[in-house]
Structure 1
Amino acid sequence: MKKIFQEEVPGLIRPEPMFSVKRVEPKAMTRILRMATNLVFVTTFDDKKPGSQSINAQFAQNLKDKAAEDRNFHMYRANDEFAKGQEVIYFFGNNEEELVANLENNRARIQNIFRVREKERLEKLILNRKSGDARAGGEPLGLNLNLPASYQIAKAESDFLWLRQPTPNTNRADISLFYHVQNYVSEEQLKPENIMRMRNNITRQHIFGDPSNRDSFLTLEYEYPEPTFFYTQVAGNYAIEMRGGWKTNTNSMGGSMLGIAFVDQENNKLYYMEGFVYYPNEKHREAIREIETLLTGTTLLRAAAE
C-alpha cells in the first residue's frame, strides 16, 4: 500500500508522496472518519483477526464467491457510500499472497483512480469563479482557457500568454501559467530534447525572475530533478507531459513545473503550455495538482464551440 499511495510525485524539487495517508484500525473507525473524502479498506478473507473480520462483514456473499472463483477480482468501488463526493475502495484477496500480487500488478491503475477523483474535486473547488481575462487572453492563441478569477494576465502577445496567481501571504503558492503557439512542422518537434529546447526559448524571451535583468530568464533544471516525460491527452489530442524543476539563469529563484506539448493537426499548430510554482521551502504537490487540473482542462476554441 505504501508503494501505491506514497510513491513520490515525479518532478518535484523535493520528495513528496503522491497522497497523504492516515492508517486506522478497522475497530477504531468513527462516524467522522467515515466522512473522509477517500477511504480504502484492505483485507483478506482468510484472516481471522478482529480487524479483518470487521471489514469482511461488510462484504455480500456474492462478492466473496466471485473472489473465490476469480483470482484477479481484488477490488470493489463504492462511491458516496458514507458521504457525498466520496471515493471508497475495498481491496481484498482470498489470502495475502493473492492480495499483494494484484495490488502490485495494478499500481498505476489504482493511483490513477484517486488522481482523477482528486482532479474532479479540485476543479469544482477552484473554478466556481472563472477568469474572463483568461478566456479573452486565450482567444488569439485559439485556446479556451478555464481558469479561476484569481489568475491575472502578466503578459499577452499574439503567440504567447502569461497569467499569474500571486500569493498574498506565505500560506499559498505563487503559481504562473503560460501558453505558446507556433507552427507544427514535423513529429521531431515532440521529441523530449526538442520540447525542452522550445520551452527554454519561450521563457528566455518572455519570463524573467527580475524584469530589469534580462539575464534572469527562466530555464529548466537538468540535474535534480531530471525532467521526466509522460504520454497524456489534452483537448482530445495526443500530448507529451514534462515534469521537473525550473530556476532562473541567475540561480536566484526556482521551483517545480509541469509542461504539456500537443498538436492541433487540423490547423498545423504546436502548443506548449506550462505551470510553474514559486514557493520557497514549502511543499509543491498541491500546487502542481492545481496546475495539472487547469492545463488538462484546456480546449481548442473550435472544439469548445462544437
Structure 2
Amino acid sequence: MILRRIILSLSLIASALFIFSCEGDDEGGNGSSNKPKARGAIGEILVVIDSTKWQGPAGEAVREVFQEDIKGIMRSERLFSVRRVDPRSITRMLKLANNIVYVTSFDDRSGGSQKINQQFNEESRQMVADDPTMFMLRSKDEFAVGQEVLYLFGTTENDLIRNLRENKSKLQNLFQVRERERLGRTILKRKSGELSRLGQDKFDINLNIPASYQLVKDENNFIWARQPTPTADRPDISLFFYQTDYKSEDQLFPENLVEFRNSITRNHIFGDPNNRESYLVTERREEPPLFNNFNIQGNYAVEMRGSWRTNTYSMGGSFLSYIVVDEKKGKIYYMEGFVYYPNEAHRESLREIETILLATEFPNVEEAD
C-alpha cells in the first residue's frame, strides 16, 4: 500500500521533488533515442551509496533487500548481483548500467551522500519530511535507453531503513519483474512452433518456449522439452507440462502437491532412461519446497520452488513449478522447469524457467463462458 501510494504520487511531485544535476555530461541530449543503450548482465544492480553508509545500518538494510538468499534451493545464492560504488566515484561508463539504485538520507553529512543530496531541492526535502513514507523515485532511461534508475531516500537514516525493511518484498519484486521482462525480450524472440502446436492440441494452451528447446517426450497428458547438448559451461534445463482433472481444493494442499509432482516424475522422467529406478523425486529433508499463492491470467495458481534428486541419488538440482487451476474446465495444469548444473549457480537458470513458464497463455476466461 505504501509503495503504491508513492508511485501514484510521482506524477504530482516529480518536478518539485527532483532536480537532475547533469554535471556537464549530457549523455543523451533531449531525446532518449540519442542515448546509448544500457549495459549489464541479467540480475545485476549497481548501488550508489556513500562508503561509510554502506558499512553501517543503512547498507545492511540495502543488502537485506537486494542480496537476500534465494529460498528453496540447497546452495546459497543471492537474489541479485550487487556492485557498490561511492557517488563521488561513479563514471560515465558506470552510469550506463541497466539497473542503478541511489541511496541517501538528508541528515547524512558525508561527502558521498551530499553528492546525491545536491539533486534534491529544499522544497522536495520538506515534502519528504512532511510524509516520511515518501522514500522512492523511479527514473527510466535517465542515462541510457532501457535503464531503470531508482532513488531511495529519507529525511533521516532511520526513516530510510524503516521504509526499506517495510517494503523489502515490493522492491525485490520490482527488479525481479523487470529482469524477467528484459530476459523475455531476448530468449522469446524465436519460439518453437512444434511445441506451441503441441500445447494447443494437447492442453488448449499456448506454450511460448524458445526455439532452442527440443521435444523429448510426448505421452498422453505429458510433454517434456529440453535444451540440447548441455556442457560444463551451459546448464541442463528441462521443461515439462502435465494436465489432470480438478476435483477438490485438497489437491492444492502443499503435501498433496509434492505427491502430485512425484507421481508425474515417477512415471515420466528418469535420470537414466535405461534405469526405471532413476526417476526424479522432490527433496524434502535439507531444503523443503516453498509455496506461494499466485494469480496467472485470472486463474488461481500455486508456485512451488525446491530441490530435486533422482531416486538413485546420482543427480540433483533445483526446480520451479506453477500449478494452475481452470475451474470452468475442471482442469489443473502443472508446469515445471528443472535445472541440472552441478557445482554451479542456478539463479539465472531459474529466472529463465520463470520467464518461459509465465509466458504460457491460457484460454481467456470470458471466451470460456
- Could you say which TM-score interval applies, normalised by the shorter chain? over 0.9
Q: 1:58 to 1:249 in 2, by over 3 A?
A: same
Q: 1:35 to 1:154 in 2, by over 3 A?
A: same
Aligned positions, number: 306
2:216 is equivalent to residue 154 of structure 1: yes
Equivalent of residue 286 in structure 1, options 348, 351, 368:
348
Q: Give, in angstroms, the shift of residue 158 of structure 1.
A: 3.1
Q: Give, in angstroms, the shift of residue 171 of structure 1.
A: 1.7
Which amino acid is the alignment partner of residue 258 of structure 2? M
Question: Based on CA coordinates, which of the two structures has the bigger radius of gyration?
Answer: 2
Runs of 5+ consecutive residues of structure 2 not aligned to the other structure: 1-61
2:107 is equivalent to residue 69 of structure 1: no
- TM, length-normalised to structure 2: 0.80
- The percent of aligned pairs where both chains have the same amino acid is 52
Greater RCO (Cα-Cα under 8 Å, separation 6 or more): 1
Q: Give, in angstroms, the shift of residue 70 of structure 1.
A: 0.3
Matches within 5 A, 1:177-256: 177-256=239-318
Q: 1:304 to 1:135 in 2, by over 3 A?
A: farther
CA deviations on 1:108-137 (whole Å, 9 max, x unpaired) are 010000001001100001111111111012
Which amino acid is the alignment partner of residue 183 of structure 2? L
Q: Please give the alpha-carbon distance, in whole angstroms, between the structure 2 residues aligned to 1:226 and 1:297.
A: 26
Q: 1:125 to 1:206 in 2, by over 3 A?
A: same
Farther off after superposition, 196-205 or 231-240: 231-240
Contact 1:234–1:299 (Cα < 8 Å) also in 2: no
CA deviations on 1:121-161 (whole Å, 9 max, x unpaired) are 00001111111111012111121111110010101123111
> Which secondary structure does the structure 2 equivalent of 1:67 belong to?
helix
- TM, length-normalised to structure 1: 0.97
Q: 1:5 to 1:304 in 2, by over 3 A?
A: farther
Q: Please give the alpha-carbon distance, in whole angstroms, between the structure 2 residues aligned to 1:254 and 1:207.
A: 13
Q: Give, in angstroms, the shift of residue 277 of structure 1.
A: 0.2
Q: Aligned-pair RMSD on alpha carbons?
A: 1.5
Q: Give, in angstroms, the shift of residue 240 of structure 1.
A: 0.6
Runs of 5+ consecutive residues of structure 1 not aligned to the other structure: none
Q: Please give the alpha-carbon distance, in whole angstroms, between the structure 1 residues aligned to 2:63 and 2:317.
A: 26
Match of 1:81 in 2: 142
2:84 is equivalent to residue 23 of structure 1: yes
Contact 1:151–1:165 (Cα < 8 Å) also in 2: yes
Q: 1:175 to 1:147 in 2, by over 3 A?
A: same
Q: Please give the alpha-carbon distance, in whole angstroms, between the structure 2 residues aligned to 1:182 and 1:195.
A: 13
Which structure is higher in strand share? 1
Q: 1:61 to 1:138 in 2, by over 3 A?
A: farther
2:361 is equivalent to residue 299 of structure 1: yes
